[in-house]
A = this chain, B = another copy of it.
Amino acid sequence: MSLLVIGTVAFDAIETPFGKTDKIVGGAATYASLAASYFYTKTKIVAVVGDDFPTADIQIFKNRGINVEGLQIKEGEKSFFWSGKYHNDMNSRDTLITELNVLANFDPVIPPSYQNCDYLMLGNLTPQIQKTVINRLQKRPKLIVMDTMNFWMDIALADLLETIKLVDVLAINDAEARQLSGEYSLVKAANKILTMGPKYLIIKKGEHGALLFFEDKIFAAPALPLADVFDPTGAGDCFAGGFIGYLAQVGTINFNNMKNAIIFGSALASLCVEKFGTERIKNLSQAEITERVQQFVKLSSFSL
């Protein structure tokens, strides 16, 4: 019984209207595994960094009980580095620097102790690598959740279509759902995407919440309106990590648990954006998470 998270572990340099960071720890696998660790204690990562990645930063994972046996450290190479600047609306950003470094030749190695995992989170990466990870698992996990982005739809659509055939849940944003399906209506887009492989589709809408599609059912989760969003980096990854972490905790996959998982994922995402980078998400208390989830309950409940 374990949850495998694959994705980037990287350095980010972020500028928002609230401030600017030097190189800090980031990456999809970082945020997703940290978020998942609050729900499920057997979380393990598969990722790659260079020898410039400080031991102290690996401690962030260890502090949360995350298994880092699958974190490759490449001697003489540098870690993936991304730098971006968010605009005033915090919904759009410019990428200033992307240095692939170790990611250029990433060959994901699954340690023997990682085999027989039940839950697999495919964080945003090339769809080819995501597929390789699935193929290298001796037993198909009970649940495979895949995150991806428009970038791969632009440059690796064939690989992307191959990979999404293999997953249970696909999580993309509304623009990406429209791009992937060629449909403007999200209902039509979802119906089309649900014929491409995934049984569940999550459409993330940022400050407008998220939609979950399953068969002919739809669930709409709100986002928590926040006075200040300090840094949106990692919000989508925390959402995905909280989502699969919650499902791993409850252990049963059905529409009701998926709905709750979306609320827990949304709660983690809303906490993440309150500080820069992983600052908030690396050290949460269960009480903070419970309180935040209760805010979501209050936010969306009504009784006729």
Contacts and interface: CB of A to CB of B under 8 A. Distances in A.
Copies of the polypeptide in the assembly: 2
B299 A219 contact: yes
B299 A218 contact: yes
A260 interface: yes
Interface stretch (A39-47, A61-69, A147-155, A180-188): A180-188
A242 to B, nearest CB: 14
Contact of A300 (B89, B187, B220, B227): B220
Nearest to A90: B184
A140 interface: no
Interface in A243-277: 256, 259-260, 263
Residues of A contacting B: mostly = mixed
A297 interface: yes
A90 B184 CA distance: 9
B184 A88 contact: yes
A185 B228 contact: yes
A302 to B, nearest CB: 4
Contacts of A259: 302
A205 interface: yes
Given A222-B209, A222-B222, A227 B302 contact: no
A156 interface: no
A220 B225 CA distance: 9
Interface of A: 88-90, 184-188, 191, 205, 207-209, 211, 217-223, 225-229, 256, 259-260, 263, 293, 297-300, 302-304
10 contacts: A90-B184, A187-B226, A188-B227, A208-B208, A208-B209, A218-B299, A220-B225, A256-B302, A259-B302, A260-B304
